[in-house]
Amino acid sequence: MNILYAVSEAAPFIKTGGLGDVAGSLPKALCAEGVNARVILPLYSSIAEKWREKMQFLFYTTVHLSWRRQYAGVYSLEHEGVIYYFVDNEFYFKRGKAYGEPDDGERFGFFSRAVVEIMPLLDFKPDIVSCNDWQTALIPIYLRYEQAEFYREIKSVFTIHNIEYQGRFIEWCLGDVFGLPRELYDSGIIRYENDINLMKGAIYKADYVTTVSPGYAWELRNPYFACGLHKVIEDNAYKFSGIVNGIDMQRFSPENDRHLPQPFSADELSGKRECKRALCRELGMDENDDGPIIACISRLVSHKGCDLISAALDSLVSKGVRVVILGTGDSAFENRFRDAEYRHRGRVSSNIMYSEQRASLIYAGADMLLMPSKSEPCGLSQLIAMRYGTLPVVHAVGGLRDTVRPYPLDNSNGFSFGDYSTDALLGTVDYAVGVYYNKEQWRSLMKRAMTEDLGWSRSAKEYIDVYRKITQ
Ligand code: GLC
């Protein structure tokens, strides 16, 4: 089975969030299960020279985007056994950032159109194109309109990583930019209010739709979570399900992490103590203080629960908990956290930055990871934290509810609260701190979290089941 995995970012080449991690690890796991998965993504100018040097130029072609005729160069590179195709066009991809440009619609319209037109020119004919988020949502739609024999058998899967970003554009883009027929708008398939909505169109036109956890799949039928698309999800429920994300167990491992002063594992936890000391030294905290450190590694935006965290900070500190924050985002939150650091020197550390090295040290050195997201399609930080023996404290929604089994349940690997409120958060941290001081108990929770199978193999099999179902 040949799978072309179309995506707007993939680690280690370009990553802005969890989508990049998934695209950098799921295809490898699919290959390990015996399918032939290849990835296609834009050749952004920010992709490092060390990768470009290894790329091989395959060919170029002209892509038809409505009345436009645009150059598309195709490069390829093999990385960890997976073949990646990169679509080159400097007009669209030589920009400061991957997303957030005023012409994003045209840029990803071009990319999606390019994927469709490049396919017959590759020495690889996909049985399925596996598409991800709005940036590739046009592909399942385009495939329905292709007349050539080549496309007849090709199926599409569309995966929703986050329903908050739907790809909404002004109506005239439909024909003038995307080159699609008016009927898509008039029939309501791609129309949302008076705009066009690419995610909506893909949900209708793809052969199958997935999202990144069963819990989120269930929540998306509810208007509270679905950002206006609950009816669309309901309509398409017959071809919709959730498959939980995994992580790359090799990449996220305290045994192999070169950023750590000392490696550790579930059997040899002494390195974790050393990491906690190193973290304290680096952040100007007392390294002899044995009290709990709770970390938050996240984009600093409201739906990740930053409003709860900032409301809870002073109380956490007064309970003797030290708080470490890492991330960037809304300047209001960045400033509130900087201010908290200023007011609580040595108790709160706000690292308003993006740093993989600092993230590793925090995952390894902290005792708990706080993740009170208002909604969370899957979430990867809680999984990474578990690998490092740092127990997650989460709001029980979406993928967080699916992956964190709260203490004191059998087999628990973390803590969770049901209400989205500061009181619920504080109550649960209090409870976790009580368990933290019961050293035996805490150690057994850590070990369980660290030895859990959080890799891709089970989920890769579920993707393959979906791929099989639609090609039979
Ligand atoms: C998005 C979601 C996150 C998920 C990731 C990968 O970033 O917000 O919950 O883990 O996609 O699927």
What average pLDDT score do residues 199-222 get?
A: 98
Residue having the nearest C-alpha atom to atom 7 of ligand 1: 18
Looking up tokens 């949502």 gives 137
Residue 198 has pLDDT above 90, yes or no: yes
* pLDDT the model gives residue 276: 98
**Dist. CA 213 → ligand 1 center (Å):** 10
The distance of Cα 418 from the centroid of its chain, to the nearest Å, equals: 23
What average pLDDT score do residues 197-220 get?
A: 98
Count Cβ atoms within 10 A of the Cβ of residue 213 and give its class: 0-12 exposed, 13-18 middle, 19 or more buried.
buried
* pLDDT the model gives residue 34: 96
Q: What percent of the chain has pLDDT over 70?
A: 100
Q: Which atom of ligand 1 is nearest to the CA of 377?
A: 9
Residue having the nearest C-alpha atom to atom 1 of ligand 1: 161
* pLDDT the model gives residue 263: 97
Quick: pLDDT tens for 354-394. 999 999 999 999 999 999 999 999 999 999 999 999 999 99
Residue having the nearest C-alpha atom to atom 12 of ligand 1: 161
**Dist. CA 376 → ligand 1 center (Å):** 7
Pick from 368, 408, 113, 385: nearest CA to 253: 385
Q: What percent of the chain has pLDDT over 90?
A: 99
Mean pLDDT of the chain: 97
Task: Work out how many domains the chain is built from and give that number.
Answer: 2
Structure tokens at 48: 């490092």
* pLDDT the model gives residue 96: 87
58 part of a folded domain: yes
Same domain, 52 and 199: yes
Quick: pLDDT tens for 57-100. 999 999 999 999 999 999 999 999 999 999 999 999 999 899 99
CB atoms within 10 A of CB 23: 25
**Dist. CA 398 → ligand 1 center (Å):** 10
* pLDDT the model gives residue 23: 98
Q: Please, which residues bridge with residue 325 across strands?
A: 296, 350
Alpha-helical segments (H) within 125-206: 138-145, 173-176, 183-186, 198-205
Distance CA 177, CA 179 (A): 6
Count Cβ atoms within 10 A of the Cβ of residue 438 and give its class: 0-12 exposed, 13-18 middle, 19 or more buried.
exposed
Same domain, 72 and 184: yes
Specify whether the CB–CB gap between 116 and 127 falls below 8 A: no
**Dist. CA 379 → ligand 1 center (Å):** 5
47 part of a folded domain: yes
Same domain, 239 and 278: no
Residues having CB within 6 Å of any atom of ligand 1: 17-19, 22, 161-162, 212, 245, 376-380, 399
**Dist. CA 64 → ligand 1 center (Å):** 32
279 part of a folded domain: yes
Same domain, 427 and 464: no
* pLDDT the model gives residue 26: 98
| Residue to mutate (ligand 1; options 380, 384, 397, 454; most atoms within 8 A of CB) | 380
Same domain, 98 and 177: yes
Specify whether the CB–CB gap between 144 and 208 falls below 8 A: no
| CATH number of the domain encompassing residue 142 | 3.40.50.2000
Q: Which atom of ligand 1 is nearest to the CA of 376?
A: 9
What average pLDDT score do residues 436-442 get?
A: 97
* pLDDT the model gives residue 10: 98
Same domain, 388 and 440: yes
Phi-psi region of 293 (alpha: psi -120 to 50; beta: other; left: phi over 0): beta
Phi-psi region of 398 (alpha: psi -120 to 50; beta: other; left: phi over 0): left
Q: Which atom of ligand 1 is nearest to the CA of 19?
A: 6
- Give the structural domain span for 60: 2-246+457-471
Torsion of CA 107, 113, 117, 122, to 10 degrees: 60
Band of pLDDT at residue 117, cut at 50, 70 and 90: very high
